[in-house]
Chains A and B, each alone.
Chain A
């Protein structure tokens, strides 16, 4: 069956419009989410219980306690930001070195066969529901930590930042490793061959030729991994505790922004109350942080391979 040119053209145009609409929908949804966040954040900051605008905004950035769900309300966001970053940093301490090592192995050393068997397993790690990781951190990692540190006279709290930090580090490893591996794959083969012909070993080539060439891809992989660690929810909700505090000690309980949102969203607080609206202000803060990080990552990724 053949179609006339005119019919083909109109099908083409119709398809083009349809696909454009589909693309627009995702953008529209993003904007809608930001809009919802923004509306309720504004409601939070203009709420009389917080002192109204601009008092509440000043309190948000100057107070050092976060207790909107208590009778004595303080709305300093820093304890939550502190908890969020402590856990994200710990997870990066795990996934930065491991991510590089795994990626170098997979892209430079592993035979095709090994790679094809290992990669699905890495993807499988990603498919584990995060709440499972949460209980893994709480019931498996935390007791091990307290046993390991007990001989040194260090007391590990039943909920702490270290254990979910480690587990999130393991959790985002496949994600960062496969992104770094992609960056390595983008490095042209002739660079490697040139390095080998000068007598460099495999390891030397990987570390001093491939890695610098894929620098921006690696950095953006880490930044996106960091964003994921910051946005991780269930693991911290289960294993990090619910005590927002400003501390640098990873053995103490903390609360992250996402952990707080989960806690309040599933709780018994009346909808539309000041306590309830506080999750939107916290969420907006999180949105701002991840937006900045992702923008940097995208910018780095857009830079071409170079020296």
Chain B
């Protein structure tokens, strides 16, 4: 009996050892960062691995934009997914460790403001109205829809949105309240977008915000409302088209990948992967619920990559309402 157990143990160990030895040495590209960008990078990585027939392995982590930059600036990853530009602190960290990077926009993400489907009064809202609700001074106040517009009913506004640690929160507060991270805290917060969708579906007075991709997935369960573009005064509905042509402002943002410049120089597989990424990002963005950049933007990004333009065009500050053309024309700084 003992002998038999020993035998099977040895055999299974041997089998494990065989399984864990790859057929030939694989090249590994390490990617980490934002969970928002993850589906896109993962989609590209799958296609790339198929194209390479398994000679290159791409691992994509989801440590969040901040956690991703932490690893990236220590030189542990080759590429970092980011749902916001790199910030001053992180630039400093990269500089200290001598990590240089190329900043590339890869797709758009739109934020949608949604209400309950039975909400038949709110069709278009202004940035000022949203600010009135979400600003930190409103903390603890029970607000009615009629407070925002006298024609609307006396129905209590029930707020929900992503947690205060997410890039989405940063972007929304920056765009609506005018200061990143400046928001009231007494709303239903969850990192799980499905929880937010459920809430908006249940509460008649719900007013929530989250990624446009989830609105598309949950058509009929929630109602996305139009936002009045502060520059043109037009009410614009959040759709892939309006995000792409830059009319849905200020709630659409570009998503980035940051590529380690040294890895590009020294490792052909990283260079190939990034080129593959820029060629296929548009197609895959549509598949995973994001919005592709205009074709010319991918061309400009490719040029930027081929010229190895180092640094960021944002100077370590978050910005709102940039069109992709403005962004790609700018000078980058380290």
Which residues of A are at the interface with B, using a C-beta cutoff of 8 A?
67, 69-72, 138, 157-159, 238, 241-245, 253, 263-273, 275-276
Contact = CB atoms under 8 A, between A and B. Distances in A.
Interface in B149-190: 160, 163-167, 170, 173, 179-183, 185-190
Interface of B: 34-35, 63-67, 69-70, 83-84, 87, 89-90, 93, 136, 160, 163-167, 170, 173, 179-183, 185-192, 195, 198-199, 202-203
B227 to A, nearest CB: 22
B205 to A, nearest CB: 12
Nearest to A266: B64
Contacts of B181: 69-71
A242 B163 CA distance: 7
Of B163, B181, B191, B195, most A-chain CB atoms within 10 Å: B163
Contacts of A67: 164, 185
Contacts of B198: 158
Given A67-B185, A266-B64, A267-B64, 17 more contacts: A69-B164, A69-B165, A70-B182, A158-B202, A158-B203, A241-B190, A242-B163, A242-B190, A243-B185, A244-B185, A263-B163, A266-B35, A268-B64, A268-B67, A271-B93, A272-B70, A273-B89
A268 B65 contact: yes
A244 B186 CA distance: 9
A157 B65 CA distance: 31
Contacts, number: 98
Contact of B34 (A71, A158, A268): A268
B188 A253 contact: yes
The SS class assigned to the A binding surface is loop
Contact of A242 (B64, B136, B189): B189
A267 B166 contact: yes
A5 B89 CA distance: 65
A226 B67 CA distance: 32
B86 to A, nearest CB: 9
Contacts of B165: 69, 263-264, 266-269, 275
A140 to B, nearest CB: 13
A243 B173 CA distance: 17
Contacts of B170: 268
A70 B93 contact: no
Most buried by B among A71, A157, A275: A71
B83 A71 contact: no
A270 B66 contact: yes
Contacts of A270: 66, 69-70, 87, 89-90
B61 to A, nearest CB: 11
